[in-house]
Amino acid sequence: MNRKILALCDKDNRYTCRLQEYLEEKESFPFSVSVYSDIESLSKDVKRGLISGALINDGMLTDSHEEIENIINCENVMLMILGTGALKWGRAPIIRKYRSGETIRREILVCFSDYKSRSEKEGLIMDSSPSVAGHRETKVISAYTPIGRSLQSSFSILLGQLLSKKYPVLYLSLEPFSYLHEYTDRDGGNDITDLIYYMRSNHDRLILRLESMTENIGGLDCIPPARIFSDLQEVSGQDWVELIKTLSDCGLYEYLILDLSDAVNSLPDILRESHLIYTITRPDTVAKSKLMVYEDSLKNMEYEDVMNKTRKLEFPFFKKLPSDPSSLIESDMTGYVRELISEDFYD
């Protein structure tokens, strides 16, 4: 199935072409983008049923009033206004023109995910994004250890960054107090628990919401981690498993990396969804004791399959790692993780 078309309509052809190029560079962006410099041409394609959404410069709203009315009255077209917001047109959402391409991309996706019309019910706007990216088997890679201060998050992020040089990868932190939050907080924007909420409330629009929430750190796509500890604890294990399966089935990513902690409910069930699990160990007595108790618990609960998927890692000594996760790839942990990838990942 072909992608639906998002129309960019602005007399500033240079601007629209640059925005078109940016949006279409995003592999998982669920629309093809067409550029229009006049309302009349856009209106003709709307009447032909070719357009799913239109982002129109507010300076063009008075150029062809009748044609604009034709567009806004078309139930199958999501109308968005590009401009300063000084001029209103019905209930059409405003997307400010001079913002980053990434911000505009997110706002477009939020508009579509919130949009309710007959066309959505008939599946004309959103084809549930798997058809956008094509079929791709997503492999779930988890990192979990009962041992504290293990460098698990640094390892997980760096693993994702290196894999993302060749594959599309999504990283999810399920830690209660993730240091990644400092680098992904967009003025109190959504976090991973909000993604769970969208999955519960409107499963069909989850992938558009996912796209609008995605951040990128050092080339790795990630969802901002939970800001509030209690929000993370309130998510059931069943919800986590459903989210993992949904993200795996959507076909957007080759690898889904889960940075897990004891704060999540039904941890063994989440681990069971993994293709490969990395468990970091240390040679000291306390670490060995914790690992033994963890493995005994898995056996007693009949999760031996989790142990069979697990590879234990005992890190060598690394010099001080950078605090900024986007700089991890410059650390001396990189060589270790590259060697691990060559052993565990293959085409």
Name the E strands within the chain.
Answer: 4-9, 31-36, 51-57, 78-83, 94-96, 139-143, 169-173, 215-217, 220-223, 255-259, 276-281, 310-314
Compute the distance between CA of residue 141 and CA of residue 236 in angstroms, rounded to an integer. 20
pTM, two decimals, is: 0.73
Compute the distance between CA of residue 124 and CA of residue 204 in angstroms, rounded to an integer. 13
User: What confidence tier does 100 reach under pLDDT thresholds 50, 70, 90?
Assistant: confident
The tokens for 166 are 């060749």
Q: Are strands 276-281 and 215-217 parallel, antiparallel or unpaired?
A: unpaired
- CA distances for 8 relative to 47, 87, 115, 198, 212, angstroms: 16, 18, 18, 28, 18
Residue 146 has pLDDT above 80, yes or no: yes
Q: Are 233 and 56 in contact (CB under 8 A)?
A: no
Q: What is the mean pLDDT of residues 192-206?
A: 83
Region(s) of the chain under CATH 3.40.50.10850 = 4-127
**Identity at 259, one-letter amino acid code:** D
Identify the residue with better confidence: 282 or 129.
282
What CATH architecture does domain 4-127 belong to?
3-Layer(aba) Sandwich (3.40)
Among 21-30, 36-45, 215-224, the minimum mean pLDDT is found in 21-30
Among 110-114, 247-251, 319-323, the minimum mean pLDDT is found in 110-114
For residue range 214-259, list pLDDT tens digits in order: 888 999 999 999 988 899 999 999 999 999 999 988 888 999 999 9
Q: Are 158 and 171 in contact (CB under 8 A)?
A: no
Q: What is the mean pLDDT of residues 54-77?
A: 79
Region(s) of the chain under CATH 3.40.50.300 = 135-344
Q: Quick one: pLDDT at residue 103?
A: 83
Residue 141: what are its φ and ψ, rounded to 5°? Answer: -115, 120
Among 76-80, 160-164, 273-277, 312-316, the minimum mean pLDDT is found in 76-80
Compute the distance between CA of residue 116 and CA of residue 210 in angstroms, rounded to an integer. 18
Q: What is the mean pLDDT of residues 187-195?
A: 81
What CATH architecture does domain 135-344 belong to?
3-Layer(aba) Sandwich (3.40)
Helix (H) or strand (E) segment spanning residue 288: helix 285-300
Task: Let me know the angle formed at the C-alpha of 120 by 117 and 126, rounded to the nearest 5 degrees.
Answer: 140
Q: Please report where in the chains the tokens 């199958």 appear, as a residue.
A: 76
DSSP class of residue 107? H
Residue 223: what are its φ and ψ, rounded to 5°? Answer: -105, 135
Q: Based on the number of CB atoms within 10 Å of its own CB, is 118 exposed (0-12), middle (13-18) or buried (19 or more)?
A: exposed
Compute the distance between CA of residue 66 and CA of residue 68 in angstroms, rounded to an integer. 5
Task: Let me know the angle formed at the C-alpha of 191 by 188 and 195, rounded to the nearest 5 degrees.
Answer: 135
Q: Are strands 220-223 and 169-173 parallel, antiparallel or unpaired?
A: parallel
CA atoms within 13 A on the CB side of 156: 33
